[in-house]
Structure 1
């Protein structure tokens, strides 16, 4: 779903964030027009020793100054340009503006426990989603106590990552090409100079596409037999070459059944191993409900947690 989609939705999320012309492979630290390294600074991440496994650990401190909303908080820098979310050895892409309108893409952190269907109200069927785009259908990060009830404000659990994919930048089918941070909306840089094997990753469907696939939302159509919605995950090797993607299903209507798990789901570990040793992960999305010019009608959001990697060299 491109930025054009967001413009048609509300006129709040139009336009393009500025991009760098820096084409350096695997080294875009000066690409400040689009990204900056670290949460608030440009300090380099230090690689752990070879053989060390690191698992993404999202703590409540990441949201100590977060923006309050129904059911929790989301990252304070969501609409701040030239900021990246950096946690442990993971640097998450992020682009934003608040000049005249609010827009963001890439990754943010949230602990919002709200799974309301905001697509059922308002003109056009999806107008209320932009103000309420911070949730995960699981209701909280992976591993939160079972006493946390999704959709019940006041029982917010562990933080998790919310991602919005804006496809206007991304080349289609990029496997085999050379990676540059400035050319992709959603990427995660792992460590500094090392290469890593991806050992685990948990994915959760976001409420906006969940209800859009189930009921439609004014842009998205309710899924019928044969429809599907998935997340594509690419790796980038030490030479800067993008691997073939692995595909993780978010929604799949086969026969008479629409399958959309609402809990955290493990990405197939053997598929993750097939990415090889990587320095970056790239995320794209695909849906059978798409416009030939404007991209996906299905809302291009997903959630992730517990990314686990082992340093190889």
Structure 2
């Protein structure tokens, strides 16, 4: 829970300010009921022709000016406000501030190959060590890295991948059947411009912070015990701006005497993704049995993704 580690004092204030910052300028697209913030509208995205499949292609050029850290680089705009990450036909939500303190949520890009447990031996609260080291993925690299990359070997970054942090305080719970707005949700991906798409593929990976938190706890999170689970919820937004029922992808599941947490890239089943129907956006939320009734999840709300693949249908 990054926001609690350093920002307990600022948490509610930042929550309201980040919501209002996107609400300041809202427009409506002529072909969509979805509200669009000005920072997204400034990015010119051209829809491919109907029937075309586009797969997210994260190149090293995205990190040419990246911030160097242990094991690689992360996006230079991570703490820059009013910036969304735009790759191919995909626009990834992103909120940030560096005014007095650093904060971000949404999506960034990274190639960091570091899977150290920074919750071990950290300062007060047990999570302090994670804040400067929140850029990794348990696979150690993006999916399909051409060279052999051993996870956790500093100085040997592989292909880039997406790191996501979900700010649960911002999002409404159980949003299915409600109307989507960009300003109302922490983690969304806009697909194309005005086209409609089906989701054909997606790779998901566990982030090191929740991975080790589920194993050992981290000062906020408790070690998982039998019956505990941690999931990613994926929603679609249809052409009318209505949010679909979610697809659930398990990240950690303690059944019986065994905690199962895959460390490699997980392929989200195509049949699951196609159940989202025809969409303009994807919205991501998370859920954990280790949650606080006031502050939400104690499990760190991070996940990683790669190779999002969509097909334009209209």
TM-score (norm 1): 0.93
C-alpha deviation, 1:121, in angstroms: 1.9
Matches for 1:1-313 after TM superposition, within 5 Å? 3-4=3-4, 6-8=6-8, 15-16=14-15, 17-18=17-18, 19=20, 20-21=22-23, 22=26, 24=28, 25-30=33-38, 36-37=39-40, 42-123=42-123, 124-145=125-146, 147-313=148-314
List per-residue Cα deviations over 1:140-187 (Å, max 9, x = no partner): 000013620110012110000000000111110000000000000000
List per-residue Cα deviations over 1:174-208 (Å, max 9, x = no partner): 00000000000000000000000000000000000
Structure 2 CA distance for partners of 1:4 and 1:248, relative to 1, 3 Å:
same
In 2, are the aligned partners of 1:170 and 1:183 still within 8 Å (CA)? yes
Aligned length: 304
CA distance in 2, matches of 1:185, 1:6: 19
In 2, are the aligned partners of 1:5 and 1:294 still within 8 Å (CA)? no
SS in 2 for 1:243: coil
Structure 2 CA distance for partners of 1:11 and 1:184, relative to 1, 3 Å:
closer
CA distance in 2, matches of 1:256, 1:126: 26
Q: CA RMSD in A?
A: 1.8
Q: Which moved further from structure 2: 138-147 or 211-220? A: 138-147
C-alpha deviation, 1:11, in angstroms: 7.2
TM-score (norm 2): 0.93
Structure 1 residue ranges without an equivalent (≥5): 31-35
Structure 2 residue ranges without an equivalent (≥5): none
C-alpha deviation, 1:237, in angstroms: 0.3
SS in 1 for 2:183: helix
In 2, are the aligned partners of 1:136 and 1:205 still within 8 Å (CA)? yes
CA distance in 1, matches of 2:157, 2:103: 25
SS in 2 for 1:120: coil
In 2, are the aligned partners of 1:197 and 1:309 still within 8 Å (CA)? yes
CA distance in 1, matches of 2:99, 2:130: 21
